[in-house]
Amino acid sequence: MEEGECWAECLDVAVRIARTAGQLVQEAVKQEKSVSSKSTPTDLVTEADQQVEDLIISTLRERFPSHRFIGEESSAAGEKCVLTDNPTWIIDPIDGTCNFVHSFPMVAVSIGFAVKKELEFGVIYHCFDGTLYTARRGHGAFCNGVRLQVSKEKDMSKALILTEIGAKRDPNTLDIFLGNMKKLLSAPVHGVRIIGSSTLALCHIASGAAEAYYQYGLHCWDIAAAAVIIREAGGCVIDTTGGPLDLMSRRVVAAGSQEIADYVVQQLQPISYGRDDHDP
Ligand code: 2AM
Ligand code: CA
Ligand code: CA
Ligand code: CA
Model confidence pLDDT, tens digit, residues 222-278: 999 999 999 999 999 999 999 999 999 999 999 999 999 999 999 999 999 999 998
* Nearest atom within ligand 1 for CA of residue 218: 15
Give me ligand 3 centre to Cα 223, in Å: 8
Q: Tell me whether residue 155 is annotated as binding.
A: no
Distance 45 CA to ligand 1 centre (A): 10
User: Measured from the CA of 39, which atom of ligand 1 is nearest?
Assistant: 19
Instruction: Give the number of the atom of ligand 1 that is nearest the alpha carbon of residue 99.
Output: 2
pLDDT digits over 70-123, tens only? 999 999 999 999 999 999 999 999 999 999 999 999 999 999 999 999 999 999
Contacts of 79 (CB under 8 A, 6+ apart): 70, 71
Q: Which residues sit with their C-beta closer than 6 Å to ligand 1?
A: 39, 43, 72, 92, 95-98, 164, 167, 196-198, 217-219, 222
Q: How far is the CA of 50 from the centre of ligand 2 (A)?
A: 10
Is 47 marked within a binding site?
Answer: no
**How far is 128 from 103, CA to CA, in rounded Å?**
9
Q: Please tell me the residue having the least CA distance from ligand 1 atom 5.
A: 196
Residues with Cβ within 8 Å of 263's Cβ and at least 6 positions away in sequence, in order, are 156, 187
Domains of the chain, earliest start first: 3-147 (3.30.540.10), 156-267 (3.40.190.80)
What tens digit of pLDDT does each residue of 32-60 get?
999 999 988 999 999 999 999 999 999 99
Q: What is the pLDDT of residues 128-139, one digit of tens each?
A: 999 999 999 999
Average pLDDT of the segment spanning 7-22: 97
DSSP code for 244: B
pLDDT in tens, 211-220: 999 999 999 9
CA dihedral in degrees (103, 104, 109, 114; nearest 10)? Answer: -150
The residue whose CA has the least distance to atom 3 of ligand 1 is 95
The three-point CA angle 178-96-203 to 5° equals: 85
Other CB atoms within 10 Å distance of the CB of residue 266 = 9
